[in-house]
């Protein structure tokens, strides 16, 4: 089982973005898919 890093090591900007996504009703899978697709698009441009 994976464990999360301690709170002090979390990037505050990421935490804020993920809280916003949750407030908008996005699922973890939707956020994951978005990050993966954005990463794939960036990699294909290089």
pLDDT, mean over the chain: 82
Cα–Cα distances in Å, from 42 out to 23, 30, 39?
27, 18, 5
Selected residue with higher pLDDT from 11 and 21:
21
31, 21 Cβ separation under 8 angstroms: yes
Give the confidence band of 19 by pLDDT, cuts at 50, 70, 90: very high
Predicted model pTM: 0.58
CB atoms within 10 A of CB 11: 9
């Amino acid at each position: 089982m994976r464990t999360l890093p301690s709170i002090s090591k979390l990037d505050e900007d990421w935490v804020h973005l993920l809280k916003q996504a949750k407030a908008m009703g996005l699922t973890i899978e939707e956020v994951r898919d978005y990050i993966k697709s954005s990463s794939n698009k960036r990699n294909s441009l290089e």
